[in-house]
Amino acid sequence: MTDATGPIARQAGSRSLLTPDARTKKRNAAEARFRAYGVAAIVTAVLALCFLLFTIIRDGHSAFQQTYASIPVTLQAEIVDPEGNRDPAEMAKVYSMSYGRILDDALTQWIEAEGIEIEGLEASDIKGFFSGEAQATLRSQILADPELVGTTVDMTALTSSRVDGMFKARVTEESAARDAKTSPAQIALANAMKDRGALVTRFNTGFLTKPDASDNRAEAAGIGVAILGSLYMMLIVLVLALPIGVAASIYLEEFAPKNRFTDLIEVNISNLAAVPSIVFGILGLAAFINFAGLPRSAPIVGGLVLTLMTLPTIIISTRAALKAVPPSIRDAALGVGASRMQSVFHHVLPLAMPGILTGTIIGLAQALGETAPLLLIGMVAFVSTYPAAPPEGFFDPASALPVQVYNWTQRADPAFFERASGAIIVLLVFLLCMNLLAIWLRRKFERRW
Amino acid sequence: MPVLWILLIVFAIAAAGYVLGARRVDALSGGDHRRLHSRTTYYGWNVALFALVPALLLLMLWLFAQPLLIERTVSSYIPDSAIAEGETRGIVLGQVRDVAGTLNRAVSEDVITDVEAANLQPDDAEVMDRLKAAELPILTTPEILGAAKAHRRMVETASTWLGIVVIALALLWAGFALWRTSPDFRARNVVEQVIRGVLIGCSCIAIATTVGIILSLVFETINFFQLYPWQAFFFGTEWTPSFGGGSELGMLPLLWGTLYISFIALLVAVPIGLFAAIYMSEYASRRVRSLAKPVIEILAGIPTIVYGLFALVTVGPLLRDWIAQPMGLGNSGSSVMTAGLVMGIMLIPFVSSLSDDIINAVPQSLRDGSLGLGSTHSETISKVVLPAALPGIVGAILLAASRAIGETMIVVLGAGAMAQISGNPFEAMTTITVKIVGQLTGDNDFASPETLVAFALGLTLFVITLALNVLALYIVRKYREQYE
């Protein structure tokens, strides 16, 4: 028995285990700090996400509301039908501009009838009250039904983006005074109309269905063509990328011998997954448009480029899904006399299908949000007509949702920024649905072996 | 004949072949399937695949080769004297294609008849007026018009022959497969061989894509360097493209902007991503982890255009009004800082999920040893786990850097378009990707250095990101093997 440790322990033991000394305190503080950094990092990331989503929704939700004027309009025959024979062919020679006069007159009459007096209200304020699109709508309405000429109808007409902005806090008294396209008097007029129920704000279905509109008609711009274009491209990606990706994965995972060639393919796939998306755009421009002579702005080119981009994602997730099927399944199939091809196509592939579909949907979601390559293949062009039904429609000019957003950010009227944010909300809703579908598929069909 | 029709006919032949093949072997076996080598479906597939595969391969090859061959023949219609000063043969051939395209549109819109288009002469005023009235005017030299007509004629003949040859091939092979069908024929083995070939073909699309990217970049880059000296491109410090000529196309300001923005992005993303990964893999309870991880990964699922708009509408003005202007650093909403910050947010999940994997791969025994020696949790992490995971984390950062360098939409909307070399992060600068978009959107003239420079920029971008990726993958792979 030795007591050598006793005195030493006593010397050092002037401190107790229960009261930490300075160094322990320091170390514990460092520990707490380190932990706090981690929490701070996660909180920062989550806050950034929340702020991002918040600003998008704050800026974009108003795109789903639109202000319409609802006043009685007299369709003066001498303007609409100068020949007086109610022949639609003759009436079609009258330009939309003339219809603007009908709307302006209707508004002036309405102001007189209601006895509204606004200081400084000028003819330009009345002229700029309606959207240019309202004239075109009125014109096509009358051409479709010439009997309306000469009668007075209750019209719901699209107002200009400035008037619309007055009810979305985008146009204020101050900004209106500086803006050449509107004036404080126009605000007063709009408020007076609102009080008398002649201005209604309601859900903007046109935003979801209408094509893009020109620079000074922000109020009429919609994402109909863009949604259709995106849908076409997703169809092409699905039809091409899924079978090709699955075939490639089956070969690499189940049949490929370990040799140089297989290595080459693998290296290529992992590199393609990391090639910047804009390089795929250059490929599309050089190969599909310049070399193969496919049309610009067409969903077929966008679909092909996005297919090439999505392939690595699909291959990687399909291989993971195939790998997750236990070897015993293959062994059992081979054991009862199936060929390797049969064991894969009859047993392994069906079992891996939920995983493959999940990966495909996630790949599609990525492709849906991709913008840069589409800019290079001419999808930025202004497209105001709907593409035809597939397959011809694949070759018609179309837009795509994210490109439409980019397009609108390049315009001067701030009303387009509201539309851009609104389009992003639609895009995010699509992505959310796709991801939820993927999660649901995984939950529903997930198998634990 | 439209390609779609040809495809449909070939598929119809294949379907018919399937039915015939299965029937034939059924009849030959006299209904006793035990005498067959394979199941009847395989005999059907045998015929169908023989009809499909060669025909489709030929179709693809033909569509690939046709433009090349036609171009070469059309080129012989144009004497050197018809090529104006300052133009190349490539430009003239482009004009030929445009004229041919206009003629096609005029015919398809019933402005002129097919015969009129085939016999069109530049002095044929009546037809020309009709074309002009339909807003499809043809203003060109007789040589180009002649070449364009030849172009149209050849495309027409080619597409007729394409249909005939492809369909004949499908019928021929289907007939051959049908003739070969007998109960002793090893249909399953043959079908499986063909399917295997198809699988290999699909795998090779990855290689084909890479080759396509490299070819499309390299050819146009060579064209560019014939028009513009490469020294001036790589080492020039001025970027002032003007389509009228006399432009300075130095890459350095763009490279500087790219690297500066990427650096700021990494400065944001690496600490946040790394600490988030450490917290989630080492500290967080299962519940917090299952909540925080998906939320952070949402950031990775948001399209870059959304980040771009966020930078343009929110972050840019915010930084300008609260930091840059009060400190007198600049008045620009779009700046290196704006783009860098937003890109950093985008990269957080990228860094965190990669680091998470890598930290989890460090063996538990290392942690247990360190904790057993009395170190605290944080000391274990910073002195044992992180050094062990360092190579992998470096790989992750390199991958993130390559992402940042190749990112387009955030910088297009957030960084501005001013090509300059400056140290002030609140000034607008521009990147390689912004300029690729800038030079290649809109109408392009593929013979001017101002358009072609985009391909040289693309090649530079491709080489940089490829090098970073290869290096990163090499490091990550090497590191993973260490503990396996």
Every domain of chain A and the residues it spans: 65-203, 224-445
Give per-residue pLDDT as tens, B363-393.
Answer: 999 999 999 999 999 999 999 999 888 888 9
Interchain proximity A248–B210, CB inside 8 Å:
no
Give per-residue pLDDT as tens, A213-271.
Answer: 888 888 888 899 999 999 999 999 999 999 999 999 999 999 999 999 998 998 889 88
Chain B within 8 Å of A271 (Cβ-Cβ)? yes
A24 token code pair: 């322990």
The last residue of a domain, from among B197, B213, B229: B213
Calpha distance B479→B388 (Å, rounded): 9
Same-domain check for residues B243 and B208:
no
Q: Is the pLDDT of residue A206 over 80?
A: yes
Chain B within 8 Å of A365 (Cβ-Cβ)? yes
Same-domain check for residues B180 and B255:
no
In a domain, B467, yes or no: yes
Ordered mean pLDDT values, 10 residues apiece, chain B (484 residues): 86 94 90 86 93 92 84 79 67 76 78 76 76 73 81 86 92 92 90 93 91 92 89 89 78 93 96 94 90 89 94 91 86 89 95 89 91 93 90 90 93 87 88 91 76 92 92 79 64
H/E run at residue B248? strand B248-249
Give per-residue pLDDT as tens, A297-356.
Answer: 889 999 999 999 999 999 999 999 999 999 999 999 999 999 999 999 999 999 999 889
Q: What is the pLDDT of residue A9?
A: 47
| Residue to test with chain A: of B46, B154, B209, B463, most A Cβ within 10 A | B209
Specify the DSSP class assigned to residue B441: S
In a domain, B223, yes or no: no
Radius of gyration of chain A (CA): 32
Q: How many domains does chain B have?
A: 2
* Partner residues linked to A74 by β-bridges: A152
CATH fold for domain A224-445: MetI-like fold (1.10.3720)
Q: What is the pLDDT of residue A396?
A: 86
Distance between start and end Cα atoms, chain B:
59
Percent of chain B with pLDDT over 90: 45
Taking a C-beta distance cutoff of 8 angstroms, is the pair A176, A162 a contact? yes
Same-domain check for residues B401 and B334:
yes
Same-domain check for residues B280 and B367:
yes
Taking contacts as CB-CB distances below 8 angstroms, the residues of chain B near A34 are 377-378, 381-382
Same-domain check for residues B448 and B399:
yes
H/E run at residue B401? helix B386-406
In a domain, B225, yes or no: no
Calpha distance B450→A298 (Å, rounded): 25
Instruction: Measure in Å the smallest separation between the Cα of B56 and chain A Cα atoms.
Output: 15
Same-domain check for residues B112 and B72:
yes
Q: Which residues of B246-262 are buried (b: 16+ CB within 10 A; e: fewer)?
A: ebebbbbbbbbbbbbbb
Same-domain check for residues B148 and B254:
no
Q: What is the pLDDT of residue A423?
A: 94
| Residue to test with chain B: of A55, A301, A371, most B Cβ within 10 A | A371
The last residue of a domain, from among B198, B213, B228: B213
Same-domain check for residues B200 and B282:
no
pLDDT greater at residue A116 or residue B276: B276
User: What range does the domain containing B290 cover?
Assistant: 239-482
**ipTM, two decimals:** 0.89
Q: What is the pLDDT of residue B202?
A: 92
Interchain proximity A268–B314, CB inside 8 Å:
no
Same-domain check for residues B162 and B201:
yes
Taking contacts as CB-CB distances below 8 angstroms, the residues of chain A near B192 are 339, 341
Of B67, B196, B313, the CB nearest to A293: B67
Query: Nearest chain A Cα to B212, which residue?
Result: A283
Q: Is the pLDDT of residue A446 over 70?
A: yes
**Residue range A10-16: average pLDDT?**
57
Same-domain check for residues B325 and B462:
yes
Same-domain check for residues B199 and B244:
no
Q: What is the pLDDT of residue A232?
A: 94
In a domain, B142, yes or no: yes
Q: What is the pLDDT of residue A14?
A: 59
Q: What is the pLDDT of residue A277?
A: 93
Same-domain check for residues B296 and B395:
yes
Interchain proximity A45–B276, CB inside 8 Å:
yes
Of B200, B348, B413, the CB nearest to A251: B200
Radius of gyration of chain B (CA): 31
In a domain, B224, yes or no: no
Helix axes B89-108, B142-180, angle to 10 degrees: 70
Chain B within 8 Å of A252 (Cβ-Cβ)? yes
